[in-house]
Amino acid sequence: MYAFKKEIGNLGGILTVWDPNIFTANCVIEKDSFIAIKGLWKDVGTELILVNIYGPQTEIAKKKMWFDLSELLKYNNAMWVLLGDFNEVRFFTERKNTEFCERNAKYFNEFIKDNALLDLPLGGRTYTRISDDSQKFSKLDRFLVSENFIENWPSANVTIIDKKHTDHCPLILKDGDVDFGPKPVKVFDEWLKHKESYDIIKVAWNTKVKSYRPDCIFHDKLKLVKQELEKWYSTSHGKLGIEIEELTTVVNEWEKKAETSELSEAQHNKWMAD
């Protein structure tokens, strides 16, 4: 099931999709800058209101959005999840090489405080929006939830994942997610979307290796799995896919470096050349 709000400025629209086996919607509310879906979260047995937001640019429009959202929150005691591109930051540290408006940030923080909302922690990366020239960084996207949401999921957190097709990074909301550090073997997640990859992994893992120590056996098996997956993907899908993924990895690494430090002109030129 889905709900769609048509064009908002330069945006093509806002789309919210849900599984009717998990969530039953009974009301859709549209305003200038958001679309709210009200319904029942079946597994929890609790009323949930999910608000998908695309914040406006001007101060007047932003204040109207805070007012409309506050009015909506005022008359409902349901569990709340507000998500999307708020087009605003809360603190000076949430922008880099872009203008920070203290007044607009103040309005945003007052909205959060007055409605007793909680700003879920974001991990994975520092910023959610990166300009096309990779010079400007902002934390514009986030999840705001009600206190009763946290009562049900106290370990809820959000992960920022690498962007691919837009200037915004996707966000994933999870409960109790644990960061196990870097992957022990460099395997592209795209490979695991293909059904046949699991047969490749199974055969490779069951292949005997020469090592005798348990830790060395484990290492060699992982290495063999990686090699067999690379052969399979190269044969089945050509080298282009691997090259695209490798280049994407390089871009993401440069972006992460630029988030935390100022790049020299030489470094930026090398980035563009890569």
Strand partners, 79: 48
As a whole number, mean pLDDT of residues 254-261 equals: 71
Q: Is the pLDDT of residue 274 over 70?
A: no
Which position has the token pair 């800058």?
33
Band (pLDDT 50/70/90 cuts) for residue 224 is confident
Residue 178 is predicted with a pLDDT of 46
DSSP-derived secondary structure letter, 33 = T
The answer to whether the beta carbons of residues 162 and 196 sit under 8 Å apart is no
The answer to whether the beta carbons of residues 222 and 184 sit under 8 Å apart is yes
Choice between 232 and 128, residue whose per-residue pLDDT is larger: 128
Band (pLDDT 50/70/90 cuts) for residue 180 is very low
Residue 10 is predicted with a pLDDT of 64
As a whole number, mean pLDDT of residues 224-238 equals: 77
Cα separation, 91 vs 77, in Å, equals 29
Cα separation, 72 vs 74, in Å, equals 6
As a whole number, mean pLDDT of residues 204-214 equals: 80
Residue 90 is predicted with a pLDDT of 94
Q: Domain residue spans in the chain?
A: 2-175, 189-273
Cα separation, 57 vs 147, in Å, equals 29
Choice between 198 and 179, residue whose per-residue pLDDT is larger: 198
The mean of the pLDDT values for the chain is 83
Torsion angle (degrees, nearest 10) of CA 77, 83, 87, 92:
90
As a whole number, mean pLDDT of residues 214-237 equals: 79
Residue 235 is predicted with a pLDDT of 73
Residue 43 is predicted with a pLDDT of 83
Cα separation, 163 vs 121, in Å, equals 19
Closest CA to 140 of 16, 13, 256, 55: 55
Residue 188 is predicted with a pLDDT of 62
Residue 6 is predicted with a pLDDT of 80
Query: Which CATH code, of 3.10.180.10, 3.40.640.10, 3.60.10.10, 3.40.50.720, is assigned to 2-175?
Result: 3.60.10.10
As a whole number, mean pLDDT of residues 40-62 equals: 92
pTM for this model (two decimals)? 0.67
